[in-house]
């Protein structure tokens, strides 16, 4: 994956030396952000329960390390940066023994960053940091970004997105699908086994394109038999190893086969792979599956497994509602930004601390 210039955005040394007090103050900022876009210092102090002055020194240290951002307008306070959120999750996963060290960045997706990590027993695993709203340009004027809970919504959305991935990965894994093995999840970070192979889009030649194509069609049909349609089934979401085994690594947009447009999405997934194989490998599929003819559907086959991993219908509803709200907010702020001239204020606002400015990649 491409690096955003030299240093990956996780400075692991800071993680190793973070004291429990710092962690407490950082957690206090996170809690304060549920109701405040910018959390007043006095509130951080009272939530963290540290004695007067103690918290303040620690906040300044966190700000120096860019884990929180300081703002003086419209009042004095701090907010969690996306780097700070990363640290809360990683530190928690370290404390729980899920990982013991973070390695290197190996991928950057549309809405996630992928790193290697090591478990206490030395096993190398993958970390996926969900970064929803990365393509969202932060809002410019005070009036907008002081609305309570706005950045918190992005954080919360990333957290729900990670929980959803973990639950689906657990359910699919338990049914024998070739997906990474889920290990743990905290906030917006999923820990999973390191899948071996190459992203299909980076492969120029296959020894047996027909058998790999058939494997992929089997995956699509098996998903449908469990009541699921991938909706984004393409060469970027699968790995193929040297033995030409396929692993499905990404499924952020899955929908139910009971969806009104189920046929359309199923056919689109199939067509996407079919077109890629024709274009890249010169392989033309004689026949492809259809939803009605080639799958026996059981709409609620995975409900129990999903609930066991903590993903419930209520959360699905909340996730969808939040996604709609944020999409609308993004559209409004884009109109806003278009209307306002791009003056010197453009770089200010939520992303004024250097590397925390989220631009679309």
Catalytic annotation, residues: 232
User: Mind spelling out the 3-state secondary structure of the chain?
Assistant: CCCCCCCCCCCHHHHHHCCHHHHHHHHHHHHHCCCCCCEEHHHHHHHHCCCCCHHHHHHHHHHHCCCEEEECCCCCEEEECHHHHHHHHHHHHHHCCCCCEEEEEEEECCCEEEEEEECCCCCEEEEEEECCCCCCCCCCCHHHHCCCCHHHHHHHHHHHHHHHHHHHHHHHHHCCCCCCCEEEEECCEEEEECCCCEEHHHCCCCCCHHHHHHHHHHHHHHHHHCCEECCCCCCCCEEECCCCCEEECCCCCCEECCCCCHHHHHHHHHHHHHHHHHHHHCCCCCCCCCHHHHCCCCCCCCHHHHHHCCCCHHHHHHHHHHHHHHHHHHHHHHHHHHHCCCCHHHHCHHHCCHHHCCCCC
Q: 79 forms bridges with which residues in the sheet?
A: 69
User: Mind spelling out the 3-state secondary structure of 121-168?
Assistant: CCCEEEEEEECCCCCCCCCCCHHHHCCCCHHHHHHHHHHHHHHHHHHH
Backbone angles phi, psi at 130, to 5 degrees: -75, 130
Do 207 and 281 contact (CB within 8 A), yes or no? no
């Amino acid at each position: 994956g491409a690096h955003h210039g030299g240093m990956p955005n996780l400075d692991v040394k800071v993680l190793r030396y973070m004291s429990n007090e710092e962690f407490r103050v950082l957690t206090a900022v996170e809690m304060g952000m549920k109701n405040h876009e910018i959390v007043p210092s006095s509130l951080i102090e009272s939530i963290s329960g540290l004695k007067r002055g103690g918290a303040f020194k620690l906040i300044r240290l966190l700000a120096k390390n860019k884990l929180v951002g300081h703002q003086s307008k419209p009042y004095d306070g701090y907010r969690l940066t996306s780097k700070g959120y990363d640290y809360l999750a990683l530190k928690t996963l370290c404390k729980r023994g899920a990982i013991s060290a973070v390695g290197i960045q190996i991928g950057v997706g549309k809405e996630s960053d992928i790193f290697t990590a090591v478990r206490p027993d030395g096993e190398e695993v993958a970390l996926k940091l969900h970064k929803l709203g990365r393509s969202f340009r932060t809002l410019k004027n005070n009036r907008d970004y002081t609305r309570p809970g706005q950045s918190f919504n992005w954080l919360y959305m990333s957290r729900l997105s990670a929980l959803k991935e973990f639950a689906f990965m657990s359910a699919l894994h338990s049914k024998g699908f070739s997906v990474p093995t889920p290990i743990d999840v905290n906030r917006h970070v999923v820990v999973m086994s390191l899948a071996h192979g190459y992203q299909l889009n980076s492969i120029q030649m296959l020894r047996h394109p027909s058998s790999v194509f058939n494997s992929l069609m089997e995956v699509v049909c098996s998903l449908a038999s469990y009541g699921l349609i991938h909706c984004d089934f393409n060469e970027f979401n699968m790995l193929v190893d040297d033995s030409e085994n396929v692993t499905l690594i990404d499924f952020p947009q899955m929908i139910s086969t009971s969806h009104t447009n189920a046929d359309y999405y199923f056919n689109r997934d199939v067509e996407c792979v079919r077109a890629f194989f024709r274009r890249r490998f010169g392989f033309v599929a004689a026949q492809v599956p259809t939803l009605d003819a080639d799958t026996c559907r059981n709409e609620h086959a995975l409900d129990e497994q999903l609930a066991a991993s903590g993903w419930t219908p209520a959360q699905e509803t909340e996730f969808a509602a939040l996604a709609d709200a944020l999409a609308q907010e993004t559209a409004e702020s884009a109109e806003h930004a278009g209307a306002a001239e791009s003056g010197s204020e453009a770089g200010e606002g939520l992303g004024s601390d250097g590397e925390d400015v989220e631009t679309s990649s």
